[in-house]
A = this chain, B = another copy of it.
């Protein structure tokens, strides 16, 4: 049984609806970063910030930040937010729910006339989704001081990323100034983008970590032969070997996932798969697989990579073919701040929402803020786990429960001063 909320679900719903209306009408719901429509969305958010008593500014990286000054500045800012850009055909909630939750927290504080010791900031991070420039988390990487300098010269649609940041209102020449060292805590609300909370009828996910993501390319070499004239026992069929690998990788991933309680969240997917020559009457000579593996714990990822090597060395039952692997990218997991997790959990209990700890299989702005500040995030359930699709949906009431939990967390952190919740 939840308490009477300080946040108001109908205001959250109104913001989400208003932002949803700012979409490419041909492709709802699309509001990609670095487009005029994105700036329209930003104008709405800026106005909402002002109405909530926040003082908006743009940092050098193009992050939109609404500040509510604290009574005792110097203890660092409590930052709440996410991002307002979408993928093409994207959604009305991914990122947006977190920005709107931040706005509503500020409104609830203003409404109740609560004074905080710490500065409170609501942030809309620039370009979390992969934009036309082919990279993600532009704003939050800059906040962490880790935006690679050469990315600024990436060009698309007749401009560079630097020019894109400038158009948004940032100042790429002073990008280093966007790096934060003054954050007391970073809190992000996001829709789960997965099916777990809905299936388990749980109000709130408390995110223990952003999973590490490792991508491995596997190439299988066989021998092109005539499909009609080459007897079955004289083939080196690259597709057959690759198909058995897909099955073996899935088998391994299922086993690891089934032991999540002991080993942490794990998933592995073969998302890209191509064969050559891909002709009806030719035994496939080559196959290329891209494995996307996500692990809450680094040790589990390392164990999986070692198993992949063993699978390939064992030829996977196809002695005639040869498989090699190459790690394409390898990002370690980002654990949430343990003390912050405890604060959020206590807040959730006070609010009276049901909750569970869970890892995030997807990346988020939070992972970058975690490099420079105590950071954590919460998940609101969403329908069918669908995301990055027009049918993405989360109930306003569910988002309100998350916002209320973060509001309670903000109050708890503010009361504790600067002596707790540091990593």
- List chain B residues, Cβ under 8 A from A237: 250, 269
Q: How far is the CA of A282 from the CA of B273 in the complex (A)?
A: 12
CB-CB contacts below 8 Å: A267-294 with B: 267-275, 278-284, 290, 292, 294
Q: In the complex the two chains form, is A292's CB within 8 Å of B281's CB?
A: yes
- A307 → chain B closest CB, angstroms: 15
A113 at the interface (CB under 8 A from B): no
Q: In the complex the two chains form, is B228's CB within 8 Å of A362's CB?
A: yes
Stretch at the interface among A75-83, A240-248, A407-415: A240-248
Asked if A385 meets B234 with Cβ closer than 8 Å, knowing A211-B228, A272-B280, A281-B271, the reply is yes
Q: How far is the CA of A268 from the CA of B269 in the complex (A)?
A: 28
Asked if A271 meets B279 with Cβ closer than 8 Å, knowing A247-B240, A361-B226, the reply is yes
Q: Which of B192, B231, B275, B281 contacts A196 (CB 8 A)?
A: B231
- List chain B residues, Cβ under 8 A from A322: none
A230 at the interface (CB under 8 A from B): yes
- A129 → chain B closest CB, angstroms: 12
Contact with B along A388-404 (1 / 0, CB 8 A): 11000000000000000
Q: Which of B228, B250, B290 contacts A280 (CB 8 A)?
A: B290
Of all chain B residues, the one with the shortest Cβ separation from A213 is B228
Q: In the complex the two chains form, is B226's CB within 8 Å of A385's CB?
A: yes
- A214 → chain B closest CB, angstroms: 11
Of all chain B residues, the one with the shortest Cβ separation from A279 is B271
Q: In the complex the two chains form, is B385's CB within 8 Å of A229's CB?
A: yes
Q: In the complex the two chains form, is A232's CB within 8 Å of B253's CB?
A: yes
Asked if A194 meets B247 with Cβ closer than 8 Å, knowing A271-B281, A272-B280, A280-B271, the reply is no
- List chain B residues, Cβ under 8 A from A356: none
Of all chain B residues, the one with the shortest Cβ separation from A362 is B228
Asked if A226 meets B388 with Cβ closer than 8 Å, knowing A244-B247, A257-B233, A275-B273, the reply is yes
